[in-house]
Structures are given as structure tokens and as C-alpha cells.
Structure 1
């Protein structure tokens, strides 16, 4: 497979805009996209709406990062009144965005996620090509809200979707007719070394959740599943690795209250945010990805597969796409703690088989969903859309 740099990207300056500076799914994919662009000999400048751990990671790559406080679209804003209020805020930040595009001498602007439509407008006003990197698959939104969120794509020069799920949900038919859509499946950087799963489960089975502590991600389902497993006579521990989005502290309080209500103190442990997550995964027997809400893809599913850990996955949207073809990814009915508990029991009862399959499929996952494939695919997509 050729790794030569596309001529149209070599030496070109790409300004990549990200809504936050965290290290969750879309943030990590932005980081991998930057690595891919650097491999194509591009000059990359990044901007985030606030500071955070992503900034350090970008700077380690030699990328200059500007903190530009640009409004980020939230679901609460997806109404005509909310958008009007947002427009008033944008008026004060729009000149700064245009100045950054000019000062960076950007040849291409890439806006990471649909939540940054104002970078699309700013790039167009500066007559720079704008590519939107879409991670969302919000098919559950109302038609009006989805239209408000996706309408700015009509001004983009191209769109890179992170999955077929997000492409279908976004319904960007006009861009598709123009040949301005590409799908590049997420690529996940696996661990440098990985501890094999335990030969035999002695003592409690170790369950792991990695992600935001939020209702849509469903960690409460794992807590309830742990109680059901105990009632079946199956001992488990549950590690919750992640934190809440600011403003959702109430949800963590609810989780902790549920743990006390079910007498699971010492069984369920709140580990906070961790990056990288490989040490936590090394200590687990299997992972649980129980998201209630639509997901465009499932990076945590891939992290589990790369680490040779069986994974229990809610069977919907992008999680189904990520888990497809992997026997060690056991799909279950969404929003159903009993389905999660039954799947855990099934894996434990046939542990030798699932362990062996997971170790084989770790190699398959690396070839199919590793970062080398992603870096080349993303760079090629940007080069093609910039023609």
C-alpha cells in the first residue's frame, strides 16, 4: 500500500478547529486526524474553544494551538429561539475566527464535528476551502433540530464521515451528488503492550466501563446489571472510568446513590478520567458499552477488541457497525440491564472460548481499525475533497 504524500497536501497549511480540548471520542479522532495530516507533510495549526489535555497532546506533535472561544452547538440550542440567541453571541467571536484563518495563512480549514458550524461560515467568508469531519449520528433528534444542525454542511466543500452510520443519519444528499462525501472509519491506536486476559476467572469477574458518565452512555445500566449478577450468585466488580460533562454532576450523584441503594459499595468503583486507558483495560476481564443514545461509532468497542477483551455492546447505530464481524463483541438489547447481566454470564460460562476468540480478533481489529489505515484514509479523503 502506497504511503507517498498526496501532492496537494504537501506543504499546505491546514487549520483544524475542535470544540473542546478533552480526550474523549471525537477529540481523540481529531488528534489522529492531525497525525494523518502531518504524515502527508502538511503544516497543521489547531484551535480549541477552551484549554485542556488535548492541547498538550497536540503540542507534543509540534502543532501550534490557539484557544479561540467559539460557541459550541448543544442540543438545548437546537430551536429557532436558541439559534437566534446563539447568533448574537457569534457576532462577537466571528471577527476573531476570520483573523485566525488569515493569520495562519490556512489553505484548508477542517471543522471537527457538526457542533462548530461557525467555522464553516468563517472559512467561506475568507474564501478558504472548508471540510467538516462529522462524528454525529443523531437520528433521534426531531426533524427541525436535525435540519438546524446539519444545514451549514450545505456551505462546506466536503464532508468526512466517521462511519456509514453517521453518513446515513446526516442525509447529506446534495454533497453526495457532488461527490463531496467520504467515509473513513475511526482508527484507534492500540496499546504498546497488552496483558492477555486471565486464563481462568478466579474471584470476582472484573467489568469495566470507559466513557462519559452521562445518561446517554448508560453506566447506570451496568450498576443494575451488577446487582442482578449478584442475585444469580456471580461475583463481579465494576470500574467506571470517566467523568461528567460540566453541568451533569447531578448524574454522578444519582449513580452513587444507586450504588448505595443496591448495597454495591466496594463493588462499583468510580475511577475518574484516565488517559490512556490501557492500564485500566489490562486489569479488566471484559468491557461493557451500554449506550442508550445514538452513537456514530464505538471507539471503546475497538479499544476492547485491540486489548483482546470480550465486550458487551448495546446493539444499535454505530456500536453495531463497530462490533460487526467480531464474535468477541456480544451485542445485547439496548437499555436493558438484564440483557447485560445475561451476556456477562454467557461470556463467563464459556470463558475459554471467548478468551481465545478475543485474542485472535485483536489482530484482526488492528488491521481493520488501527491508526495506520486511518491516517492514510483521512489524508487521502482531505486531498480528494480539496480538488
Structure 2
């Protein structure tokens, strides 16, 4: 990255755009990023396209937030058509892009930073109209197993030519954005209050409880866990399961499917759908094991780092960012158990391994606690992203078209995250 302008007499004014006010993983990461920023260097304002829990949480944290409403019917249609459809639908909605540009102009910002795929694309015409540098913060793998092929092609093309810089939430996400401009990696960080003071030295009393934390969605794998639960309970009838999270982003049909499967397998007294919780830490205290069962490679895996930081043994599915978090070798340094996606038998066996061998499970959990507390720190990520914003605000020539054949400059992710340490 070019050096920040040493002559700036005020913090960089950054508008952070998100299309949703629901509390998804990227949104929770945003709240921690805001709290970790140095106000002497950055003056952030969050611009949401709807009102909701995220808006309230940001305000309560003392940060500025502005809502530029996008018609709910457009948002609902966009969920079916993806981010590309969102741009077309928003462009067809009288006044939205004009209101967005007007709001951003009044906010007098130096840099635009979009933090969801739909906001990434909707920010493009706004950045062009205002001639402001745009930073994309990508929290999703841009791959055919995660998004429609048309969307993948569009996002990769735009990422190579339009944003000033692209920030990815993991090496796995970065790998799906070949040629993206000034590509850097900044992992979602943990706030100090998410890290237990000391690792757990004993499992909770009472029957073992297996938990999963995350929105109800086919890609999160709750259905796989329920089917594995039948195998676990057949071997250990005392084990109970608690699924924390609510259906979001149009996944209510999946919730009904999940409830039907629980009934079909005779697990109504064993599996609890506990719904959304604002703070999962009290729930983590009661878990013997936290399961991550995504059916496709996860872009990062914040739930895994949160459980590890809280001292809870983890079982997770391989792939994507999870392989960067959970260490499985060499022998004696493992921080969790990994299984293949969509393998309910392997998942059941790993859960039983934790339940039936608590001493070994707690040793892995203690190593995980120390490991993630050192590697995934919110201030570390905030420092790296601040550098991207300072560079964007200090580069007056960025808006000029590149000459044909000019080689793109990429920032090594190690500038943000430190030396990459394979799992």
C-alpha cells in the first residue's frame, strides 16, 4: 500500500455501507471493528439500507449511523436474484441511488467501504458519482459452490477493475478473487470480552450438551447435525442438543424442514431450537462441545473462533476459512476435530469422541484458547483496515484509468494479518 498522507489534519472520514440491519456474521464483525478503531485516525459513519437490530447496536455503542431506506420489496426480490439482481432492482427503484448519493455527499466522507455483496455493487455507482475511492470488504467466498455462476463472474470482474482495494475476511475468500485490486486479508477479530480469562478446566455438570450457534440456513448444516444427533443419542442417550439461531434471509422454509426432521427422527425431547440470542457466551458456558457443520466451505468461521476463545471444545467441518482456524497437526498440537462436510456419521463419531474423552477434549480446547486469542484480535484487524482507508484517502490519482498493460499492485495479506500460519 502507498503510505498514508502524513499531512492530513483530521481523521479519515469513512462511510461503511451495508444493505441489511440484521445481525449476521459480517454485521457482528462490523460492530467489533468499529469499537476497535482509533478515533484519532478514523471517523466512521455506518450507512444502512434498512432499520433493524444492527442500527440499534451501533447507536448504543456510540457510533454514527444513517439509514437510507431501500424499498423492502426490492430487498426481498434481491434475495432471490442475488447481488447482481439487487443492483438492477435498486436502479429501477425511483430515487434510491439518488438518495444514497445525496446522503453520502452530506456526510462529507473521504472513502466508501462496503461490507456486504449487495452493498458492494450498489456502492459502485455512488462512488463513481462522488468520485470517491471504494473499498470492498468481502465476507463471502466468490465461488460457484456458494453463489450463482453469473454472480461469481460479475463480482470477480468488478473486483478486478473498480474498487480502490478489496479486503477479504480469510485467505480462502481471497483465493476466490483472482486479480482483485490491492487484495488484502483481515480476519474478523475478537474483542477482549470474547476471550475467557483462563481456559476451561472441566466440562459443565449434568448431561453433555452439544451446541451449534448460527442462523438457520441450509449452508450452515443444522440438518446434518440433527441427523448425526440420532446416531449420537443411540450410543449415548443422555446427550442433548441445543441449536442457537433464527431463520434469516428468507430461510423460514428450512426451519420448517428442520423441525419436521427432528420429529421424524424422534428427537423432539433431545434437540432444542433455542432461537436467536444476543450474547452467546452464557450459552457457551453450558456446552460440552460446539459444532460447526457447514455444508460448503465457510468463508471464515467466526463462531469457531468465538467458541475456542471461550474455552469450548470444537468439532467443525473442513474447508474454507475453517482450515485456517483449527489446527489438526502435528500430533499433540491439535486445537479441534475436523470432519468432512455432509458426513453425519463422521460428525457423530467426532461428537462422541469429545463427550467420551473429556480430558483430551479439554486439552485441545486449552490450546485453542491460547491460539485464537493470539491470532484473531479485533485491534489487529482494525489497524490493517485503517491502513487501507488511509492509503485510499491519500491517493489523489487512483481515479484515473489505468494504462493498458499496467500491472496491478497487490498488497500481501501478511501486512494485515502477520505471517500466515498453516493449520
TM-score, structure 2 length as denominator? Answer: 0.82
Report what 1:182 is aligned to. 184
- Matched residue, 1:301: 304
- Tell me by how many angstroms 1:97 deviates: 0.9
Counterpart residue number, 1:249: 252
Alignment of 1:211-230 (within 5 A): 211-230=214-233
The 1:368/1:88 distance shift into structure 2, 3 A limit, reads closer
What residue in structure 2 maps to residue 267 of structure 1?
270
Q: What displacement does 1:157 show? A: 0.9
1:240 and 2:247 matched = no
Q: CA deviation at 1:227?
A: 0.7
Deviates more, 1:312-321 or 1:277-286: 312-321
- Please give the secondary structure, in 2, of the residue aligned with 1:102: helix
How far off is 1:195 after superposition? 8.4
Structure 2 partner of 1:30? 30
Inter-partner Cα distance in structure 1 for 2:29 and 2:205: 36
Structure 1 unaligned residues grouped into runs of 5+ = none
How do 1:95-134 residues align onto structure 2 when only pairs under 5 Å count? 95-116=98-119, 117-134=121-138
Alpha-carbon offset, residue 129 of structure 1: 1.3
Alignment correspondent of 1:331? 338
Find the partner of 2:389 among 353, 378, 382: 382
2:294 is aligned to: 291
Aligned equivalents of 1:200 and 1:78: distance in 2?
43
Q: Do the aligned partners of 2:297 and 2:318 also contact (CA within 8 Å) in 1? A: no
2-structure distance, mates of 1:336, 1:132: 34
Q: Which residue of 2 aligns with 1:358?
A: 365
Contact 1:15 1:45 in 2 (8 A): yes
Q: Is the 8 A contact 1:6 1:383 kept in 2?
A: no
Q: 2:166, 2:180 within 8 Å by CA — same for their partners in 1?
A: no
SS of residue matched to 2:187: coil
Q: Secondary structure at the match of 2:128?
A: helix
For residue 136 of structure 1, what is the aligned residue in structure 2? 140
TM-score (norm 1): 0.89
Deviation per residue, 1:171-193 (Å, 9 max, x gap)? 2x152xxxx22111221225365
**Aligned-pair CA distance for 1:237:** 1.0
Which residue does 1:67 correspond to in 2? 67
Instruction: Output the CA distance in 2 between the equivalents of 1:331 and 1:233.
Output: 21
d(CA) in 2 for partners of 1:264, 1:126: 56
Write the distance in 2 (CA, Å) between the matches of 1:312 and 1:8: 48
Q: Mean alpha-carbon deviation: is it higher for 4-13 or for 298-307?
A: 4-13
8 A Cα contact 2:133 2:392, kept in partner: no
Whether contact under 8 Å (1:112, 1:133) holds in the other structure is yes
Secondary structure, aligned partner of 1:216: helix
Shift of 1:207: 0.7
State the superposition RMSD in angstroms.
2.7
Residue aligned with 1:354, SS = helix
Residue 146 of structure 1 corresponds to which residue in structure 2? Answer: 152
State the distance in 2 between where 1:108 and 1:79 align. 22
Residue aligned with 1:170, SS = coil
Distance in 2, Cα, partners of 1:269 & 1:244: 15
Q: Secondary structure at the match of 1:264?
A: coil
> What SS does structure 2 have at the residue aligned with 1:379?
helix
CA drift at 1:319:
1.9
Please give the alpha-carbon distance, in whole angstroms, between the structure 2 residues aligned to 1:246 and 1:182. 28
- Matched residue SS, 1:291: coil
Task: Tell me how far apart the structure 1 counterparts of residues 244 and 286 of structure 2 sit (CA, whole Å).
Answer: 12
Which runs of 5 or more structure 2 residues have no equivalent in the other structure? 396-423
Contact preservation (8 Å) 1:305, 1:311: yes
Query: Measured at CA, do residues 228 and 330 of structure 1 come closer, stay the same or move farther in structure 2, by a change above 3 Å?
Result: same
C-alpha distance after superposition, 1:225-275 (max 9, x if no partner):
111011123531111111001532221111111111111122111111111
Whole-Å Cα distance in 1 between the matches of residues 132 and 35 of structure 2? 22
2:374 to 349, 353, 367: 367
What's the CA shift for 1:348? 2.3
From the superposition, tell whether residues 256 and 143 of structure 1 become closer, same or farther in structure 2 (CA, over 3 Å): closer
Whole-Å Cα distance in 2 between the matches of residues 87 and 151 of structure 1? 20
Deviates more, 1:249-258 or 1:272-281: 249-258
Shift of 1:330: 0.9
Which residue in 1 is equivalent to 2:406?
none
